[in-house]
Amino acid sequence: MNLYIHILISIITFFTIIPKFSSHSSHPTTIYDALTTNGLPIGILPKGITNFTLDPTTNKFTVTLNKTCNTKFETSVRFDWNFSGVLSYGQVSNLSGIAAQDLFLWFPVKGIHVDVPTSGLIYFDVGVVFKQFALSSFEVPKDCNEFGDGFGVDLVVLKVKDRSENPLKQHVDGDEKKAIA
Protein backbone atom coordinates (compact mmCIF):
# COMPACT_ATOMS: atom_id res chain seq x y z
CA MET A 1 0.00 0.00 0.00
CA ASN A 2 2.79 2.44 0.86
CA LEU A 3 4.39 1.74 -2.53
CA TYR A 4 1.20 2.73 -4.38
CA ILE A 5 0.88 5.97 -2.39
CA HIS A 6 4.55 6.77 -3.07
CA ILE A 7 4.08 6.15 -6.83
CA LEU A 8 0.89 8.23 -6.88
CA ILE A 9 2.63 11.13 -5.08
CA SER A 10 5.56 10.88 -7.54
CA ILE A 11 3.21 11.03 -10.55
CA ILE A 12 1.29 14.00 -9.13
CA THR A 13 4.55 15.82 -8.35
CA PHE A 14 5.93 15.10 -11.84
CA PHE A 15 2.85 16.53 -13.59
CA THR A 16 2.81 19.57 -11.31
CA ILE A 17 6.48 20.46 -11.80
CA ILE A 18 6.76 19.86 -15.60
CA PRO A 19 4.39 22.72 -16.59
CA LYS A 20 6.41 25.13 -14.41
CA PHE A 21 9.63 24.25 -16.22
CA SER A 22 8.05 24.42 -19.66
CA SER A 23 6.50 27.85 -19.01
CA HIS A 24 9.95 29.28 -18.19
CA SER A 25 11.53 27.81 -21.29
CA SER A 26 8.91 29.28 -23.64
CA HIS A 27 9.71 32.56 -25.34
CA PRO A 28 7.57 35.63 -24.74
CA THR A 29 5.28 36.37 -27.66
CA THR A 30 5.64 40.17 -27.42
CA ILE A 31 8.25 42.55 -26.07
CA TYR A 32 5.62 43.68 -23.57
CA ASP A 33 5.46 40.08 -22.22
CA ALA A 34 9.26 40.12 -21.88
CA LEU A 35 9.09 43.42 -19.95
CA THR A 36 6.41 42.07 -17.59
CA THR A 37 8.38 38.86 -17.00
CA ASN A 38 11.35 41.02 -15.99
CA GLY A 39 9.36 43.20 -13.57
CA LEU A 40 9.28 46.23 -15.86
CA PRO A 41 6.26 48.34 -16.84
CA ILE A 42 5.12 47.90 -20.46
CA GLY A 43 4.77 51.65 -20.93
CA ILE A 44 8.53 52.22 -21.17
CA LEU A 45 8.14 51.28 -24.84
CA PRO A 46 5.73 52.97 -27.25
CA LYS A 47 2.90 51.57 -29.35
CA GLY A 48 3.67 50.71 -32.97
CA ILE A 49 6.23 47.94 -32.48
CA THR A 50 6.28 45.87 -35.65
CA ASN A 51 8.89 43.27 -34.69
CA PHE A 52 11.15 42.20 -31.85
CA THR A 53 13.79 39.57 -31.22
CA LEU A 54 15.03 38.29 -27.89
CA ASP A 55 18.08 36.08 -27.42
CA PRO A 56 17.12 33.74 -24.53
CA THR A 57 20.74 33.12 -23.52
CA THR A 58 21.84 36.77 -23.25
CA ASN A 59 18.43 38.50 -22.93
CA LYS A 60 19.56 40.96 -25.63
CA PHE A 61 16.58 42.32 -27.51
CA THR A 62 16.05 44.32 -30.68
CA VAL A 63 12.83 46.21 -31.37
CA THR A 64 11.62 47.56 -34.70
CA LEU A 65 9.10 50.36 -35.14
CA ASN A 66 7.56 51.39 -38.43
CA LYS A 67 9.13 54.87 -38.03
CA THR A 68 11.41 56.92 -35.82
CA CYS A 69 9.17 58.78 -33.39
CA ASN A 70 8.66 60.65 -30.12
CA THR A 71 6.46 59.87 -27.19
CA LYS A 72 5.64 62.08 -24.22
CA PHE A 73 5.94 61.13 -20.57
CA GLU A 74 7.02 63.85 -18.14
CA THR A 75 9.54 64.66 -20.88
CA SER A 76 9.86 63.76 -24.56
CA VAL A 77 11.52 60.48 -25.43
CA ARG A 78 12.71 59.73 -28.97
CA PHE A 79 12.82 56.16 -30.30
CA ASP A 80 14.83 55.26 -33.40
CA TRP A 81 13.01 52.93 -35.78
CA ASN A 82 15.38 50.21 -34.53
CA PHE A 83 16.61 50.11 -30.92
CA SER A 84 18.10 47.49 -28.63
CA GLY A 85 19.16 46.64 -25.09
CA VAL A 86 19.60 43.86 -22.55
CA LEU A 87 16.81 42.82 -20.16
CA SER A 88 17.36 41.71 -16.59
CA TYR A 89 14.99 41.74 -13.67
CA GLY A 90 13.94 45.33 -12.94
CA GLN A 91 16.20 46.93 -15.52
CA VAL A 92 17.17 47.43 -19.14
CA SER A 93 20.87 48.03 -19.81
CA ASN A 94 23.11 48.69 -22.82
CA LEU A 95 20.35 50.65 -24.52
CA SER A 96 20.93 52.19 -27.92
CA GLY A 97 18.49 54.08 -30.11
CA ILE A 98 16.56 55.91 -27.36
CA ALA A 99 17.07 59.55 -26.28
CA ALA A 100 15.38 61.75 -23.66
CA GLN A 101 14.95 65.50 -23.93
CA ASP A 102 15.99 67.87 -21.17
CA LEU A 103 15.36 71.54 -21.95
CA PHE A 104 16.47 71.81 -25.59
CA LEU A 105 19.02 69.00 -25.57
CA TRP A 106 18.65 65.31 -26.36
CA PHE A 107 20.60 62.82 -24.24
CA PRO A 108 21.03 59.13 -25.13
CA VAL A 109 19.30 56.82 -22.65
CA LYS A 110 21.83 54.17 -21.62
CA GLY A 111 19.61 52.24 -19.24
CA ILE A 112 16.32 52.13 -17.37
CA HIS A 113 15.72 50.65 -13.94
CA VAL A 114 12.81 50.41 -11.56
CA ASP A 115 13.49 51.42 -7.99
CA VAL A 116 12.11 49.29 -5.18
CA PRO A 117 8.56 48.73 -6.51
CA THR A 118 6.95 50.28 -3.46
CA SER A 119 8.76 53.59 -4.07
CA GLY A 120 6.85 54.12 -7.32
CA LEU A 121 9.92 55.47 -9.14
CA ILE A 122 11.68 54.60 -12.38
CA TYR A 123 15.04 55.98 -13.51
CA PHE A 124 16.44 56.70 -16.97
CA ASP A 125 20.25 56.67 -17.10
CA VAL A 126 21.32 59.45 -19.48
CA GLY A 127 25.03 59.15 -18.79
CA VAL A 128 25.84 61.94 -16.38
CA VAL A 129 22.66 61.72 -14.30
CA PHE A 130 19.59 59.61 -13.72
CA LYS A 131 16.26 61.19 -14.68
CA GLN A 132 13.63 60.17 -12.13
CA PHE A 133 10.00 59.65 -13.15
CA ALA A 134 6.81 58.41 -11.52
CA LEU A 135 6.35 54.72 -12.29
CA SER A 136 2.61 55.37 -12.84
CA SER A 137 3.49 57.27 -16.05
CA PHE A 138 4.60 53.98 -17.62
CA GLU A 139 1.60 51.73 -17.02
CA VAL A 140 0.46 51.64 -20.67
CA PRO A 141 2.37 52.14 -23.94
CA LYS A 142 2.01 55.66 -25.36
CA ASP A 143 1.34 56.62 -28.96
CA CYS A 144 4.45 57.02 -31.05
CA ASN A 145 4.26 60.33 -32.94
CA GLU A 146 6.40 61.61 -35.78
CA PHE A 147 8.75 64.52 -35.12
CA GLY A 148 7.21 67.96 -35.01
CA ASP A 149 3.97 66.82 -33.34
CA GLY A 150 4.22 69.31 -30.50
CA PHE A 151 6.99 67.57 -28.58
CA GLY A 152 9.26 70.55 -28.16
CA VAL A 153 12.06 71.78 -30.32
CA ASP A 154 13.49 69.29 -32.78
CA LEU A 155 16.86 69.65 -34.38
CA VAL A 156 16.66 71.75 -37.51
CA VAL A 157 19.17 71.28 -40.29
CA LEU A 158 19.73 74.36 -42.40
CA LYS A 159 21.22 74.00 -45.83
CA VAL A 160 23.52 76.84 -46.75
CA LYS A 161 23.28 77.54 -50.44
CA ASP A 162 26.37 77.76 -52.54
CA ARG A 163 27.09 81.38 -53.39
CA SER A 164 26.88 80.54 -57.08
CA GLU A 165 23.21 79.57 -56.52
CA ASN A 166 22.42 82.79 -54.66
CA PRO A 167 21.13 85.63 -56.86
CA LEU A 168 22.67 88.18 -54.49
CA LYS A 169 26.33 87.26 -54.14
CA GLN A 170 28.22 88.74 -51.24
CA HIS A 171 31.39 90.62 -52.14
CA VAL A 172 33.76 91.56 -49.35
CA ASP A 173 35.77 94.74 -49.89
CA GLY A 174 37.78 95.30 -46.69
CA ASP A 175 35.24 95.59 -43.88
CA GLU A 176 32.44 96.64 -46.20
CA LYS A 177 30.02 94.05 -47.66
CA LYS A 178 28.21 94.90 -50.88
CA ALA A 179 25.44 92.92 -52.50
CA ILE A 180 25.99 92.54 -56.23
CA ALA A 181 23.40 91.26 -58.65
The H or E element spanning position 34 is helix 31-37
Yes or no: say if 55 and 34 are a contact pair by the CB < 8 Å rule.
no
Cα gap 145→71, rounded to integer Å: 6
Tens digits of residue pLDDT in 73-127: 888 999 999 999 999 999 999 999 999 998 888 999 999 999 876 788 999 999 8
We report the CATH number of the domain holding residue 116 as: 2.30.240
Residue 113 lies inside a defined structural domain of this protein: yes
Residue ranges making up the domain that contains 33: 29-138
Cα gap 46→59, rounded to integer Å: 20
Domain count for the chain: 1
Tens digits of residue pLDDT in 6-43: 444 444 444 443 343 334 446 678 999 999 999 999 99
Yes or no: say if 77 and 71 are a contact pair by the CB < 8 Å rule.
yes
